[in-house]
Structure 1
């Protein structure tokens, strides 16, 4: 059986896990934090990685941002506060029984090609696993980027 590694348990990682399962693949998801949700999991004291602000409301309607096989509840606002987005993701993960495939507090340190067919994933604790395929779902906001202006200093 093909063994797939999904890195990141956020908005892309959760459906990646589900898709692997639907296609009969063995899947393991590594999430470096204590919970899923990625950017949408508001963590005000987080020192690294991306997180929404306390006031964040999506600028895309719930119908447009929804997973195609899991519509958000009708009673929820059309433009959802981040807490609704995280609750939606939680409901999705529970409905499709995805949580048991996620290893939390598991930071991926390196990805190395072992041979033409396999990859070695080394975690922060030094342990490693070998996979046939890898899906990166870390998001493009996982590392904040701040503009640099000559002569301007941020406090």
Structure 2
């Protein structure tokens, strides 16, 4: 039986954490409050949830060789310094290539994380689903 792991957020760190869990035969569940991956890299015209995100004209100031995942380099035709759309495309390609989307519960906000006294499961994660009420 694989050990269960909670990952909070499906941004750059979250999706790489999911992949690391899968690589180590762990069972990740990622809780993402929005309806898509990318976190701060997912551009939207307005910020309904109060999160700051990339701005429309953003271009990275870190080269593609330094900002890629070690096991998933950028395509050769990607520019050395890319705009936010190209970087988000890369995150989407990474998630799809390693079949990570199936581990993500979208529109799910983590409301609490508490240590359990019984030691059978170390932590309890309380979540609110935007469309379905509360769950644990």
Q: Which runs of structure 1 show a deviation greater than 3 angstroms over 4 or more consecutive aligned residues?
A: none
Bigger radius of gyration = 1
Secondary structure of the equivalent of 1:107?
strand
CA distance in 2 between partners of 1:77 and 1:95 (Å) = 21
Structure with bigger helix share is 2
Higher relative contact order (CA 8 A, sep 6+): 1
TM-score, length-scaled by structure 2 = 0.90
CA distance in 2 between partners of 1:22 and 1:50 (Å) = 31
Displacement after TM superposition at 1:81 (Å): 0.2
1:36-94 CA-partner distances (Å, limit 9, x unpaired): 00000001211311210001111100110000000001111100100011000000001
Displacement after TM superposition at 1:7 (Å): 0.4
Unpaired segments of 5 or more residues in structure 1?
Answer: 129-155
TM-score, length-scaled by structure 1 = 0.80
Unpaired segments of 5 or more residues in structure 2?
Answer: none
CA RMSD in angstroms, aligned pairs only? 1.0
Secondary structure of the equivalent of 1:120?
strand
